Amino acid sequence: METQRKEEIMRRLKSVAGHLKGVEKMVEEDAYCIDLINQVQAIQAALSKVSVQILDSHLHSCLITAVRGDDADERERMLGEIATVFAKSTKL
């Protein structure tokens, strides 16, 4: 994974961790339920963006290498991984 992308992902993950700590505090303080839900949804959206960035990196590195390579089994394995990730994402 390229350095710039890794730094962006780490920045987002640290932000998510901060938001999660905030939600924990909100729960402890009996915050309004809708406010809690809004914060949880914001965390979920941020994690979705991280997933998209990681998948994009994978497609532009590992998958490209497998597709260009001579190993048909490796290509099929990579395509299967992508299909599995997509299937899991549609079940959320």
pLDDT tens column, 34-88 = 999 999 999 999 999 999 999 999 988 988 888 899 999 988 999 899 899 888 8
Q: What separation in angstroms does the CA of 4 have from each of 10, 47, 57, 64?
A: 10, 18, 11, 19
Question: Quick one: fold of 3-91?
Answer: Methane Monooxygenase Hydroxylase; Chain G, domain 1 (1.20.58)
pLDDT level of residue 92 (50, 70, 90 thresholds):
low
Question: What residue segments make up the domains of the chain, in order of their start?
Answer: 3-91
pTM of the model: 0.80
pLDDT at 26: 98
Q: Residue-wise over 38-63: b if at least 16 C-beta within 10 A, else e?
A: ebeeebeebeeebeebeeebbeeeeb
Residues across the chain: 92
The model's pLDDT over 11-30, given as tens digits with 9 standing for 90+, comes to 999 999 999 999 999 999 99
Chain-centroid distance, C-alpha 51 = 2
